[in-house]
């Protein structure tokens, strides 16, 4: 639920801080006062696409912050957890900064995010219904989504789409296999020969390096043995070996240290050096004992290395890339074997279609039940909206299997009794479309989990007694789920304004040569004046004030 909205230097708003409550809130004001600014600002905070020219004249940036209570919004809390964004269990802060050069920055709980992330989270917080939304209801996709959402079938509809794509991919593979059967068979035969050869010589980079190291050691075995023996001769075996000379120095220093203890440091250093030389000599002795010339193994290695080089040249890769080439060839073989084996591919295709058809039938069954209920509910609301005798029908027309299921969803309307129902876009006038759209939104919104709903002048073209019915519908919607549902309506109708639990008024004034817009929460007395203004125009009389009092009292 939206708790507060702060706006700084946005269009004609200098500074605005608003608090919001649960329930039904109306927003009114004279034409041109800036009622749409509130929606525009909130939309930006919710991730709407930004455009230039939104900063107030003379300012370098505009800033909008919105605070939401998400204690009862499990979807929003889950989104924050999955996005690894720190959050309070109850409160959420969205912030958008728009710069005069068109750049913008977005934040969630102080963390920098993309506008796409802001929009994704915003869709879990607020639904905004505007006059433009009427026209979206004329689209087949929107009508289908409205029905599925109302029926609680959105997840199943998504599953059906996924099942269809999985089946269609297998279907295309089978068709491709049938068209290219001979070519695939030849390619598979070549790959089998290729993989048999590669499996003998395909070695990893680590194995290739080890093979080269072993070859280097064996091919230089004589030099290693001769050099090792020479080193041992110089270290310990010869008459003037390093060990003999250092031992003499060690004895000499030990004798001198009896005269001056400072020499002990040199003795200890030499002792360490002698120990290191002894370790070196023992290592060389062990190495020479296990090192021998092995011409047979050397010949075997040279043959294998040559074979690997030959295979690498043949397939135009480096020796250590043969293993990757083998893996790629094996993967392609597995794919082709599926193509060549028509029976296996056809079986998988059949299984995929069966899974799709099962879920699609469940979706169809759910749509049939929901279509009847939705048709009846909206038809009932139409009678209340001065469309007496009118009828609303959700028509389900069977169609070939598709990603959207087994039927086409279409909204049909009969404006009055005695006429056949026709597609919504062909029968409804502007005023009728507005009323029917409102009935659809009110009925379907009862199923929505989104806690905050904003209706932006959806009552245009409505007046008289119908206006009061519209207000009652919106009030009814706002009072559902006590304490958890929030409905904000921007309206020009006094009949709707009088039914709000809370009332905000937009006004504008000249301040230091600039036009600035402000929004204020009205007291009971101020509400009387505002509703009277909406009823009576420029000059207010006691009659209009009395009328306003009566409307508010009801």
Distance CA(65)–CA(95), nearest Å, equals 4
Distance CA(347)–CA(199), nearest Å, equals 31
CB neighbourhood size of 213 (10 A): 10
Cα–Cα separations (whole angstroms), residue 89 to 76, 78, 93, 123, 131: 11, 11, 12, 19, 35
387 near 379, Cβ under 8 Å? no
In a domain, 297, yes or no: yes
Beta bridge partners of 269: none
Phi-psi domain of 411 (left: phi exceeds 0; alpha: psi -120 through 50; beta: other) = beta
| Per-residue pLDDT at 396 | 95
Distance CA(243)–CA(237), nearest Å, equals 9
> Which of 322, 338, 354 marks a domain boundary?
338
118 near 125, Cβ under 8 Å? no
Residues near 339 by Cβ (< 8 Å), separated by ≥ 6?
Answer: 173, 176, 177, 180, 181, 184, 345
- C-alpha torsion sign, points 523, 529, 530, 531: positive
25 near 500, Cβ under 8 Å? yes
Beta bridge partners of 517: 508
Cα–Cα separations (whole angstroms), residue 264 to 77, 186, 271, 428: 73, 84, 10, 110
| Per-residue pLDDT at 339 | 64
The token pair at 140 is 């087949």
| Per-residue pLDDT at 134 | 55
In a domain, 404, yes or no: no
How would DSSP label each residue in 95-117?
EEEEETTS-EEEEETTEEE-HHH
Give φ, ψ of 155 to 5 degrees: -65, -45
The candidate with the shortest Cα–Cα distance to 29, out of 498, 493, 416, is 493
In a domain, 454, yes or no: no
Distance CA(182)–CA(192), nearest Å, equals 16
Cα–Cα separations (whole angstroms), residue 96 to 19, 53, 77, 109: 18, 15, 20, 11
| Per-residue pLDDT at 87 | 75
Residues near 268 by Cβ (< 8 Å), separated by ≥ 6?
Answer: none
The token pair at 417 is 């009794």
In a domain, 234, yes or no: yes
SS3 402: strand
SS3 405: strand
In a domain, 248, yes or no: yes
Q: What is the residue range of 527's domain? A: 523-554
> Which of 338, 362, 390 marks a domain boundary?
338
In a domain, 204, yes or no: yes
396 near 407, Cβ under 8 Å? yes
> Which of 308, 338, 368 marks a domain boundary?
338
63 near 54, Cβ under 8 Å? no
**What is the H or E stretch that residue 517 is in?**
strand 514-521
Strands 452-456 and 126-130: parallel
CA 351 to chain centre: 31
Distance CA(376)–CA(373), nearest Å, equals 5
Number of structural domains (the chain) is 2
Averages of pLDDT over each 10 residues, the chain, 554 residues: 90 86 88 76 87 82 91 86 81 91 89 91 83 69 89 93 94 76 70 78 72 71 72 81 85 85 86 88 80 71 76 80 81 73 76 95 96 93 81 93 94 82 73 75 73 77 76 80 78 88 86 78 90 81 87 84
In a domain, 129, yes or no: no
| Per-residue pLDDT at 425 | 73
- The one-character DSSP state at 537 is -
CA 110 to chain centre: 19
Beta bridge partners of 95: 65, 107
- The one-character DSSP state at 237 is I
In a domain, 362, yes or no: no
In 33-110, at which residue ranges do the beta strands (DSSP E only) sit? 61-69, 91-99, 104-108
Helix and strand numbers (H, E) in the chain are 20, 15
Distance CA(191)–CA(334), nearest Å, equals 10
The token pair at 404 is 């959207």
Q: Looking up tokens 């007496």, which residue turns up?
A: 388
SS3 315: helix
The candidate with the shortest Cα–Cα distance to 66, out of 96, 100, 22, is 96
């Amino acid at each position: 639920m939206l708790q507060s909205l702060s706006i700084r230097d946005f269009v004609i708003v200098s500074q605005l801080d608003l608090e919001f409550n649960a329930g039904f809130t109306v927003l009114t004001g004279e034409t041109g006062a800036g009622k749409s600014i509130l929606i525009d600002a909130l939309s930006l905070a919710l991730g709407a696409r930004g455009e230039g020219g939104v900063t107030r004249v003379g300012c370098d940036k505009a800033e909008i912050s919105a605070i939401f209570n998400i204690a009862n919004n499990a979807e929003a809390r889950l989104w924050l957890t999955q996005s690894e964004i720190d959050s309070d269990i109850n409160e959420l802060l969205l912030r958008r900064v728009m710069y005069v050069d068109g750049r913008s920055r977005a934040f969630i709980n102080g963390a920098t995010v993309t506008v796409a992330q802001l929009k994704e989270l915003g869709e879990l917080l607020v639904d905004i219904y505007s006059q433009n939304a009427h026209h979206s209801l004329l689209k087949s996709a929107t009508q289908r989504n409205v029905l599925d959402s109302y029926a609680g079938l959105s997840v199943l509809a998504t599953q059906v789409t996924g099942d269809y794509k999985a089946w269609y991919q297998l279907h295309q593979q089978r068709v491709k296999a049938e068209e290219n059967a001979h070519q695939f068979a030849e390619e598979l035969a070549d790959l089998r020969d290729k993989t048999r050869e590669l499996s003998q010589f395909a070695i990893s980079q680590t194995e290739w390096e080890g093979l080269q190291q072993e070859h280097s050691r064996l091919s230089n075995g004589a030099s290693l043995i001769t050099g090792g023996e020479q080193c041992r001769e110089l270290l310990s075996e010869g008459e003037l070996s390093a060990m003999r000379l250092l031992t003499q120095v060690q004895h000499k220093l030990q004798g001198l240290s009896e005269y001056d203890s400072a020499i002990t440091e040199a003795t200890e250093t030499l002792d360490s050096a002698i120990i290191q030389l002894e370790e070196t000599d023992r290592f060389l002795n062990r190495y020479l004992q296990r090192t021998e010339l092995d011409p047979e193994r050397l010949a075997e290695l040279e043959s294998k290395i040559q074979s690997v080089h030959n295979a690498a040249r043949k397939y135009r890769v480096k020796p250590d890339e043969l293993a990757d080439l083998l893996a790629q060839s094996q993967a392609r073989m597995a794919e082709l074997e599926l193509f060549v084996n028509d029976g296996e591919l056809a079986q998988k295709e059949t299984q995929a279609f069966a899974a799709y058809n099962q879920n699609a039938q469940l979706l169809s069954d759910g749509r049939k039940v929901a279509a009847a209920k939705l048709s009846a509910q909206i038809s009932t609301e139409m009678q209340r909206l001065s469309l007496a005798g009118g009828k609303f029908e959700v028509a389900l027309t069977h169609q070939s299997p598709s990603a959207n299921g087994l039927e086409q969803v279409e909204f049909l309307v009969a404006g009055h009794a005695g006429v056949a129902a026709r597609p919504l876009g062909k029968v409804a006038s502007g005023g009728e479309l507005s009323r029917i759209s409102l009935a659809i939104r009110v009925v379907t919104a009862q199923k929505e989990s989104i806690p905050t709903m904003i209706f932006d002048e959806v009552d245009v073209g409505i007046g008289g007694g119908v206006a009061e019915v519209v207000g009652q519908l919106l009030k009814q919607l706002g009072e559902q789920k006590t304490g958890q549902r929030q409905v904000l309506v921007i309206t020009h109708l006094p009949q709707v304004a009088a039914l709000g639990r809370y009332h905000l008024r937009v006004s504008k004034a000249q301040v230091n040569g600039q036009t600035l817009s402000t929004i204020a929460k009205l007291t009971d007395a101020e509400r009387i004046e505002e509703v009277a203004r909406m009823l009576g125009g420029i000059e207010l009389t006691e009659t209009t004030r009395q009328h306003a009092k009566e409307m508010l009292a009801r």
